[in-house]
Amino acid sequence: MRALVLEEFGTPLVLKDIEKPTADPGQVLVQVKASGVNPLDTKIRAGKAPHAKRILPAVLGLDLAGVVEQVGDGVTGFAPGDEVYGMTGGVGDLQGSLAEYAAVDARLLAHKATSLSMREAAALPLVVITAWEGLVDRAQVRKGHKVLVHGGAGGIGQVAVQIARARGAEVYATGSARSLETIQRLGATPIDYTTTTVEEYVAKYTGGEGFDIIFDTVGGTTLDASFTAARTYTGHVVSALGWGTHSIAPLSFRGATYSGVFTLLPMLTGRGREHHGEILREVAALADSGLLKPVLDPRRFTLDTVADAHTAVETGATTGKVVVDIEA
């Protein structure tokens, strides 16, 4: 099969013919139709993601959508011909999705939403699992909550807005001027963080009380700002980017709480993988109910032009999630 191989960190991916895998016990062999590109993919390639524990040489690509070709011993719930999606590889010693086929742990897969294309499905796994773990698993978002999503037009932010709204929450999201229209189209109240202070939007939208849930997808000073915008006693801040050094005193003085999300953990440890499949089944149901849909960059990339796809993600020159088309 054809696959893109990273031989050394910081070098271009090399298109090669490598051995096609087979499904071991507990695995499913998937003919990959599309591979979603995340900022983490580009950081792994550059050698700037030691937490991903990538072993070289390696096939990168975290997210996939495709068709089941073979089912390994002990696997139930999947059969040849099924359309599936998942965050299945690209870290540790797991083969990624920038290849024509991938043998993946069946626990990490779910059936694709019938309402979504392969490209749309491949855009979802990492971002929806991250958003779900933060909003649903950690913060238990529900009707009556006021939710603030930092970076509401980004990959994780877009689906976080949709998940929170689907569960009945009132949603607000920060962004720059060029992203406010996207945020509004997703159904959240847009906040221009470049012209509005934290104190101003907390006063305007919560009467000074603070937000019930704040989901931070930006990190750095934005996470610090989140600690000052949480509701007293019951506020909960969740971050997918907890890098750096932060003072939690502003959060502590409110009696509020914090959770971090590290979505790669089940793939790296082998523990808890079933929950990723459970989340993806819930998300597929939301998509088929019309409550969640990814926003895609309209450009088409292939295994031959993945370098261009990575450049687009690295530079931020995108209008939605970048997806690579893969055909055997």
247 and 131: one domain?
Answer: yes
Domain count, the chain: 2
Beta strands at 58-59 and 189-192: parallel, antiparallel or unpaired: unpaired
Look at residue 256 in the predicted model and tell me its pLDDT.
92
Q: Looking at the structure, do residues 287 and 226 belong to the same domain, yes or no?
A: no
The token pair at 1 is: 């099969």
Let me know if residue 265 belongs to a domain: no
Residue 1 has what pLDDT?
Answer: 97
Residue 319 lies in a domain: yes
Among 260, 282, 309, the domain-final residue is 260
What per-residue confidence (pLDDT) applies to 137? 97
Residues 277, 112: Cα–Cα separation, whole Å: 11
203 C-beta neighbours (distance < 10 Å), count: 12
Output the CA torsion sign for 8, 12, 18, 22.
positive
Two tokens, residue 190 = 């847009």
Q: Is residue 50 part of a domain?
A: yes
- Same domain for 104 and 196? no
Contact 262, 239 (CB under 8 A): no
Q: What is the pTM of this model?
A: 0.96
Answer yes or no: is 237 within a domain: yes
Verify cis geometry, omega within 30 degrees of 0, for the bond prior to 25: no
- 248/161 same-domain check: yes
Indicate if 131 and 229 belong to the same structural domain: yes
> Residue 328 has what pLDDT?
60
Q: 245 CB contacts (<8 Å, ≥6 apart)?
A: none
For residue 296, give its domain range: 2-124+271-325
Q: Return the number of other C-beta atoms located less than 10 Å from residue 231's C-beta.
A: 20
Same domain, 48 and 59: yes
| Pairing between β-strand 27-37 and β-strand 101-105 as defined by DSSP bridges | antiparallel
For residues 113 and 137, membership in a common domain is answered with no
Asked if residue 143 is part of any domain, the answer here is: yes
**276 lies in the same domain as 235:** no
Of 260, 291, 313, which one is at a domain's C-terminal end? Answer: 260
233 plus 276 within the same structural domain? no
Q: Which residue among 260, 283, 315 closes a domain?
A: 260
Do 64 and 37 form a contact (C-beta atoms < 8 A)? no
Residues 137 and 193 in one domain: yes
What are the pLDDT tens digits along the chain (328 aa)?
Answer: 999 999 999 999 999 999 999 999 999 999 999 999 999 999 999 999 999 999 999 999 999 999 999 999 999 999 999 999 999 999 999 999 999 999 999 999 999 999 999 999 999 999 999 999 999 999 999 999 999 999 999 999 999 999 999 999 999 999 999 999 999 999 999 999 999 999 999 999 999 999 999 999 998 999 999 999 999 999 999 999 877 788 888 889 899 999 999 999 999 999 999 999 999 999 999 999 999 999 999 999 999 999 999 999 999 888 899 999 997 6
Q: Report d(CA 309, CA 229) in Å as an integer.
A: 36
What CATH number is attached to the domain comprising 71? 3.90.180.10
**Residue 284 belongs to some domain of the structure:** yes
CA distance 164 to 132: 9
The span from the CA of 148 to the CA of 152, in Å, is 9
Let me know if residue 195 belongs to a domain.
yes
The verdict on residue 266 lying in a domain is no
| Angular region, 15: left φ>0, alpha ψ -120 to 50, beta rest | beta
* Same domain flag for 225 and 286: no
Same domain, 36 and 10: yes
We report the CATH number of the domain holding residue 136 as: 3.40.50.720
